[in-house]
Structure 1
Amino acid sequence: MFRLLLFFITVLSIAGLPAEMLFAQSGSTVFDVEQASRAYIDTLQGAELEKSNSYFEGGYWLILWGALVGIFVDLLILKSRFSARFRDWAERVTRHIWLQPALYALPYVLAGFLLTLPWTIYTGFFREQQYGLLNQSFGAWFGEQMIGLLISLIIVPLLIMAIFAVIRRAPKTWWIWGTGVISIFLFIGMLLGPVFISPLFNDYSDMEEGPIRDRIVAMAAQYDIPADHIYVFDQSKQHKRISANVSGIGPTIRISLNDNLLERTGPDEVAAVMGHELGHYVLGHSWRTVFILALIMALGLFLTARFAPRLINRHGKKWGVRSISDPAAIPILSAILTLYFFAATPAFNTLIRINESEADRFGLDTAREPDGFAKVAMRLSEYRKIEPGPIEEMLFFDHPSGATRVRMAMQWKADNVENPQMLNPGELEKE
């Protein structure tokens, strides 16, 4: 259950393209949006198109198999009575009921990490290397997994302790108060994550003075976004994807972009990316996302509160689980929520995709770089299917597809640029 909560702490990112030579189509007198869009979309052909589609479509099955792996691990911990043993150990260590769930969480997190490690290694390392999307050695990659484990060993016990406190005090309405607890943790994560969590994985340094920085500062100033510090982080050590974000709350607000964005793209693309990211901040997407995710979580906890007691009444004795307020019940709660989150995947994707689409429009209006935006959208083709069907995009895409974004950019160009020219982007750079 609590590993899945990391899904909510979103780090909003976008990818882009390196600069290519652009040249106007001779003899073009009418700007055709579809023709201009196809000029970009059709740059992805042959083996590269097949590779992109294969990687992303394979991810559809990973959603299903990931859920089944999570449920299997929780059932294994239950049926082996390890869950009951973890509870018994916590009770031997302390008589304080309020502290026992936190102690239980320590071996539970470790067991979950070890039991899912083969799956994590395949999906997070070998599969990424197979498709050329990872720059790290296994040692460097595994080191970051260990950092993530240490973070989980701090956060998850606190979260479990808080949730079981409300279960004991409000056994009938705990799912309402539990939603509030999770929302508070999300807020704290948004506040402290950019300052204390992100630097554990990457080095952040102030962006050098220059025209690109000046333009970012100017765009931020339009919307009173603090831009005293613009940070560049070294994500090229992990992969070559392009990323940027405006993160934090209040005193922790910061603008960050990775080194790939500066090294692999031109100024028009950087402006398009940063306009998009500024849009997330100005449009209040972080707060909206927390609110809607809280509603989705509330429904999940409500269903858990209804079904978990039935499972405990039926199987609790052989599993060594006494009641829903027993920390040994955590794998039961986790399995139910895992199934629920799997079913809610289209809702999660739609929420994020709507936010991303709004930020796209904002970025186009702010940066006024439609061709830079189209090149950025095409970079997604490295790991995202460029042109899915409408139902496929609705179910599986948490961002608009590359084709959708390119068409949006060309339509914006037709509507907002005087005498727009048809451009041929040429072949995409292969790195």
Structure 2
Amino acid sequence: MKKIISWAIIIYVLYCIGMAWYLFSFADSSIPAEWKGTTADPATFLTPREQVLSEQYSQWKNFLFFVSVPYDWLAYLAVLWLGVAKALQTWSEKATKSFVVQAAFYVFWLSIIMSVLTLPFDFISYRISRAYGVSTQSVFSWMRDETTDFLVNTVMLFLLVVVLYGLIRRFEKRWWLYAWMVSVPFTIFFMFIQPVVIDPLYNNFYPLKDKVLEAKILALAEKADIPSDHVFEVNMSEKTNALNAYVTGIGSHARIVLWDTTLQRLQEKEVLFIMAHEMGHYVMKHVYWGVASYIVLTFAGLFVAGRVMNWLIRRWGEYFHLHKISALASLPLFLLVISVLNFSVSPVVNMVSRYEEHAADEYAIKLTKDADAAISSFQKLTKEGLNQVNPPIIVKIFRYTHPSILERIVFLERIKRGD
């Protein structure tokens, strides 16, 4: 056991060193020569200091992402290897005979342990964002959001455990299929209530305050056949200087949300382009396609997870203090396997997302016919969020759900040229 833990730590440290070398010394984020001096070149819209800050900030955030993912895996393994998962199960079984109460006890304490283990990375990420001026959030506000995350995630995990392990205990071989069948209506229901139940726990949402701009946005929405009551503003300026907008929800709760920072720092034409982009997602029903894709991936994920967990328990059960998948002590193993699977498919998921984002850009430029406003909006998104214009390939593959700023501006430049 000591050898396994020692080797796991050594491999992780070497991996961190390798990622640091790649991101801070080797990776090339320069602009191709043919686009030097154009609107896609950060030297044309960022000051020299902003270029340095953008590069440094992106490097640190990317590094934290790539080292925190396997760190989470090690944390789950440690909980298993050190017998913590088994101890939590024993305590919960001694405390009550009710499976539901046992699950509540187990999930709460496992969530506490994992939150404590991962808190350093979360806090470092927050401090970096504050240090570079991207985050404006106070420590108290950040802690409040972290607490809200903990409560929401714990409740969701509790519901998952009660249903999942109830099915595992009743259907030993086909539990993954029944679990997937239950997940379908739950996923749809969650997407339906998220904008009106979950999101307001973090921020205040309200109709657009600028009525003149609202009238123009609603006129644009009318062209796209989008209901006027589906456009909202959110007070993100209390937490960040970054700019953003997004589409969320399904059915009557579907809505387009604009950050107030976007409304405050972009000109009217730029806001209209951003709005048209989000309308493109709405019109092309990307949220619905996303839900459908998630349901398909859940089917495959549960199928694979069941088989991988059974194999791991047969092969390493003694080290994990596990003998069967139906034990509550197997929950960290389940979460570990799901996390690894999610990371494994993220390049494909991100690629599909980038395709949808590009399609939304195409829709927006056709609707607004204003490439200059689109270009300047992307430049300001980069400036305020300190984003890399041309991220390293590994970063793009694993982190970018949108095309890079370079790709987006180049696309618009080619439209202007008539290419």
| 1:25 corresponds to | none
| 1:78 corresponds to | 80
Distance 1:171 1:367 in 2: 56
Distance 2:258 2:204 in 1: 12
> Aligned in 2, Cα 1:291/1:57: closer, same or farther, shift over 3 Å?
farther
| 1:107 corresponds to | 109
Distance 1:107 1:44 in 2: 47
| 1:140 corresponds to | 141
Offset from partner CA, 1:78-116 (integer Å, 9 cap, x none): 123221222223323443446643442121112111121
Distance 1:115 1:386 in 2: 33
| 2:407 corresponds to | 404
Offset from partner CA, 1:215-254 (integer Å, 9 cap, x none): 2111222233221353222100000111223322222223
Tell me if structure 2 keeps the 8 A contact 1:356–1:400.
yes
> Aligned in 2, Cα 1:392/1:208: closer, same or farther, shift over 3 Å?
closer
Distance 1:209 1:93 in 2: 56
Aligned-partner SS, 1:161? helix
| 2:69 corresponds to | 67
> Any residues of structure 2 matched to 1:18-417 within 5 Å, and which?
37-38=39-40, 42-44=44-46, 46-97=48-99, 100-123=102-125, 125-208=126-209, 210-228=211-229, 230-317=231-318, 319-381=320-382, 382-388=385-391, 393-415=396-418
Distance 2:85 2:280 in 1: 45
> Aligned in 2, Cα 1:247/1:267: closer, same or farther, shift over 3 Å?
same
Offset from partner CA, 1:373-394 (integer Å, 9 cap, x none): 1112123323321024667644
Offset from partner CA, 1:170-219 (integer Å, 9 cap, x none): 33233333344444443222211111111111122222353310121112
Offset from partner CA, 1:4-49 (integer Å, 9 cap, x none): xxxxxxxxxxxxxxxxxxxxxxxxxxxx999764477732352322
Tell me if structure 1 keeps the 8 A contact 2:85–2:329.
yes
Question: Shift of residue 363 of structure 1?
Answer: 1.4
Tell me if structure 1 keeps the 8 A contact 2:245–2:257.
yes
Offset from partner CA, 1:270-314 (integer Å, 9 cap, x none): 101111111111111112112223333433333322221232234
> Aligned in 2, Cα 1:388/1:39: closer, same or farther, shift over 3 Å?
closer
Aligned-partner SS, 1:246? strand
Aligned-partner SS, 1:101? helix
2:301 alignment partner AA? G
> Aligned in 2, Cα 1:59/1:295: closer, same or farther, shift over 3 Å?
farther
Aligned-partner SS, 1:228? helix
| 1:427 corresponds to | none
In the superposition, the TM-score normalised over structure 2's length comes to: 0.83
> Aligned in 2, Cα 1:93/1:39: closer, same or farther, shift over 3 Å?
closer
Offset from partner CA, 1:332-390 (integer Å, 9 cap, x none): 11222222323333123212211111111111112222111111212332332102466
Bigger shift: residues 316-325 or 157-166: 316-325
> Aligned in 2, Cα 1:67/1:393: closer, same or farther, shift over 3 Å?
closer
> Aligned in 2, Cα 1:400/1:106: closer, same or farther, shift over 3 Å?
same
Q: Identity percentage over the alignment?
A: 26
> Aligned in 2, Cα 1:187/1:316: closer, same or farther, shift over 3 Å?
same
1:108 alignment partner AA? L
Tell me if structure 2 keeps the 8 A contact 1:79–1:319.
yes
1:208 alignment partner AA? K
Higher helix share: 2
Aligned-partner SS, 2:228? coil
Tell me if structure 1 keeps the 8 A contact 2:64–2:121.
no
Aligned-partner SS, 2:229? coil
Distance 2:406 2:205 in 1: 33
In the superposition, the TM-score normalised over structure 1's length comes to: 0.81
> Aligned in 2, Cα 1:309/1:149: closer, same or farther, shift over 3 Å?
same
Distance 1:327 1:161 in 2: 10
Distance 1:193 1:122 in 2: 28
> Aligned in 2, Cα 1:208/1:186: closer, same or farther, shift over 3 Å?
same
Higher RCO (Cα < 8 Å, 6 or more apart): 1
Tell me if structure 1 keeps the 8 A contact 2:184–2:295.
yes
Unaligned ranges ≥5, structure 2: 1-33
Question: Shift of residue 269 of structure 1?
Answer: 0.9
Aligned-partner SS, 1:231? strand
2:388 alignment partner AA? K
Tell me if structure 1 keeps the 8 A contact 2:38–2:44.
no
